[in-house]
Every structure is written in C-alpha cells, then in structure tokens.
Amino acid sequence: MGAHAIDPGLDDLAATARAALVREIEASGAWATDPVWREAFESVPRHLFVPYYYVGALGGGYERRWGEDPSPRRRENWVRGAYADAPLATRVRDGELLSSSSQPSLMAKMLAELAVRDGDAVLEIGAGTGYNAALLSHRLGDGQVTTVDLDPEITDSARRHLALAGHHPTVVTGDGARGCPERAPFDRIIATCTLSTIPRVWLAQCAPGARILAPFATGLIALRVRDSEYAEGRFLHTPAYFVPLRGGGPPGPELPDVDLTGLPRRTRSHELFRFLLTLTADSLDPHEAYGIWEREGQPPRQRYGITVGGGRAWAWLDDPEGPYTWPLP
C-alpha cells in the first residue's frame, strides 16, 4: 500500500460508512437551506484527508489510528472513525491540539450557512486536512477556492490529500489574519479557527455584499460586508469550538480565569452564560454579565452580533447602537 492509500479491501466499508454519515448529517437538518451540499459529502472521501488521526487513550494521552496499520482490525477502526460524525485530532504536539478535522455535521451547517452561489470566489482561513476545501471545490470548482494556513506542514499535507481526491484549489502558506490579497476579491470568507476580533484586511479583500462566517467566542458569527470599511451580522444559534487562529492576529478567545464567587452554580456552568463571558472577556466584569444575563432573560446566541465600522469593532446584544455594546480587541 502506498503512502495515504487505502487498503483495497476496505473500499466497500468506506463507501458504506460514508453513506451512513451522509444520512446522519441529513437527519440533523444541517443542509436544509442548501441540499446541494449532500452531493459533495457523498462524493468527497473523508478518509483520504485523515490518513491518520488521534483518539483519546485510556489513562490519558492519544492513540494513533492510521490507514497503514499492520492490523486489519485496526485499519477497519480507522475507516469507521474517519466517517464518524465527530471532530478528529490530526496534529498534536506536546499534548496540544494544533489541527483537526471538524465534525462533519458542523462543517455541513457552516457550508450551508455560507450561502454560496455558482461562480463565487471563496477564501478559507485554516486549511486543516484539506477536506473542507475539497467540499468547496466540488461545489464551486477548484479555481474558485483558496485556502490558507500558517503552517507549511499543514499546507503541504492538505495539497497531497486534495490531489489524491482529485482536487486542486489554491493552497497558500501564510498568515490567515492577513487574508490572501493576491487572490482577492472574495465573495465568501469562511474560517475554521476561532477569532478574537475581525481582521479589517478581510473586509478590504471582499466584494461588496460578501459574507464572512467564522467561529467566535464558542459561536458562529455571520457578517455581511457592505464595503471595505463596514460589516455587520449576528451569531447563529449553533455552538462551535475550534482551535484559535494562529499568526498576526491576537489569541483566540478563551474563558478568562475570573472570580465567579456568588453566582449561582447552575449559571456558572451554563453554556450560554459562558458564551457571554467569553464574548465580553476584555470589557465586562462577570458579575455585570450576570446582571445582564438575568435582566435580558438568558439570551440565546442569535440575539448577539458584531459590527465593524468607523475604525472600531464591537459586540452587542439585540442592537448595535443599543445599551449593551462591548468593544472587541
């Protein structure tokens, strides 16, 4: 078996597992707004993009699964795991997760929410394994897709995986926070890494009316770009957890080490309250956040939004000019 090639005896298992994954994603409603994505997930073989990955091992650490394992049983486990609706750790260093293949149903949701149209030019921030770029290339064509990552090892492997699957989008090694000006303008930008602010240069690389979809503070923000100076949008209801953007931008948002003494235990662990704490980490005391949280009826993610304009960026609840606004870094 050559490098990254699947055991021919596992072809049927891969096809069966892929069909089961597609049915699972469809049942989740992830692509209800754009069922064209079903064909992409049916056609693009995820196992080619994860020739190895890591799963949590008993007693701590990670267990490596790979397609050239000498054990037939472990190779079968590798294939089944490649088509599980779960994120897969693909690059780990000193116990730190550096890169992963996202949960397929979340990828399907994000791609559907990106609202691409035939002929759109798309920039992906965070190449990962190349799987997401392959799905975009299947939908739009290789020439319409650019994917960028800071780590040359990641971009090199993404190119290999993409070529093996028959796709050749533009893969760029560079700082995603700076976008990719040589390939601009873009109609859509999708990030597969968590941001702590919206890079202004992205707006300048967008065509008017472009859409930006990115993980932010354990949520997904969808921005409509009016022009090179202004963009605005709301969060989707969907939770999202990604590794932070690395490079020229500030670190990705993390829940700060703050004193939550005096707050109800249930509130402290409430996923949406922790979203608010992360979103406002640089500007709002957690006890103030709790007051807003209670007064406003424990608001869901889709009541929050982000505006970039006038030389600044800020998050808000309900209204970008309302009483609840918080500056972003």
Task: Report if residue 212 sits inside a domain.
Answer: yes
Q: Give yes or no for a contact between 245 and 177, defined as CB atoms under 8 angstroms apart.
A: yes
Task: Report if residue 65 sits inside a domain.
Answer: yes
- Interatomic CA distance for residues 326 and 329, integer angstroms: 10
Looking at the fold, whether 269 and 321 belong to one and the same domain comes out as yes
Which residues constitute the domain of residue 300? 265-327
Predicted pLDDT of residue 291 = 94
Phi, psi of 76 (to 5 degrees): -65, -40
Looking at the fold, whether 110 and 223 belong to one and the same domain comes out as yes
Task: Report if residue 290 sits inside a domain.
Answer: yes
Question: Domain of 102: which CATH number?
Answer: 3.40.50.150
Q: Give yes or no for a contact between 275 and 300, defined as CB atoms under 8 angstroms apart.
A: no
Task: Report if residue 75 sits inside a domain.
Answer: yes
Residue that terminates a domain, selected from 180, 215, 235 = 235
Task: Report if residue 220 sits inside a domain.
Answer: yes
- Interatomic CA distance for residues 278 and 272, integer angstroms: 10
Q: Which of 28, 43, 99, 102 is catalytic?
A: 99
Looking at the fold, whether 206 and 272 belong to one and the same domain comes out as no
**b/e map 240-272, b = 16+ CB within 10 Å:** bebbbbbbebeebbeeeeeebeebeeebeebeb
- Interatomic CA distance for residues 243 and 215, integer angstroms: 9
If we measure between CA atoms, which residue out of 53, 65, 67 comes closest to residue 7?
67
Phi-psi region of 56 (alpha: psi -120 to 50; beta: other; left: phi over 0): beta
Looking at the fold, whether 120 and 164 belong to one and the same domain comes out as yes
Please name the amino acid found at residue 304.
Y
Task: Report if residue 225 sits inside a domain.
Answer: yes
99 is known as an active-site residue: yes
Phi, psi of 33 (to 5 degrees): -80, -15
Helices (H), 179-255: 200-204
- Interatomic CA distance for residues 184 and 122, integer angstroms: 9
Looking at the fold, whether 222 and 272 belong to one and the same domain comes out as no
What's the start-to-end Cα distance of the chain, in Å?
50
Looking at the fold, whether 191 and 304 belong to one and the same domain comes out as no
Looking at the fold, whether 271 and 164 belong to one and the same domain comes out as no
Task: Report if residue 96 sits inside a domain.
Answer: yes
Predicted pLDDT of residue 1 = 41
Q: How many domains does the chain have?
A: 2
Phi, psi of 298 (to 5 degrees): 55, 65
pLDDT in tens, the chain (329 residues): 444 455 667 889 999 999 999 999 999 999 888 889 999 999 999 999 999 999 876 556 778 899 999 999 999 999 999 999 999 988 877 766 667 889 999 999 999 999 999 999 999 999 999 999 999 999 999 999 999 999 999 999 999 999 999 999 999 999 999 999 999 999 999 999 999 899 999 999 999 999 999 999 999 999 999 999 999 999 999 999 888 886 554 444 455 566 788 888 888 889 999 999 999 988 888 899 999 999 999 999 999 999 999 999 999 999 999 999 999 98
What's the Cα-to-Cα distance from 123 to each of 4, 165, 170, rounded to whole Å?
Answer: 26, 20, 10
Looking at the fold, whether 166 and 42 belong to one and the same domain comes out as yes
Beta bridge partners of 129: none
Length of the chain: 329
If we measure between CA atoms, which residue out of 227, 156, 225, 151 comes closest to residue 188?
225
Predicted pLDDT of residue 279 = 93
Q: Which residue has the tokens 């050239």?
A: 68
Predicted pLDDT of residue 253 = 47
Looking at the fold, whether 125 and 204 belong to one and the same domain comes out as yes
Looking at the fold, whether 123 and 194 belong to one and the same domain comes out as yes
- Interatomic CA distance for residues 94 and 102, integer angstroms: 21
If we measure between CA atoms, which residue out of 99, 88, 82, 187 comes closest to residue 136?
187
Q: Give yes or no for a contact between 118 and 80, defined as CB atoms under 8 angstroms apart.
A: no
Residue that terminates a domain, selected from 196, 220, 235 = 235
Residue that terminates a domain, selected from 185, 220, 235 = 235
Looking at the fold, whether 212 and 315 belong to one and the same domain comes out as no
Predicted pLDDT of residue 58 = 56
Task: Report if residue 252 sits inside a domain.
Answer: no
Looking at the fold, whether 102 and 177 belong to one and the same domain comes out as yes
Which pTM was predicted? 0.91
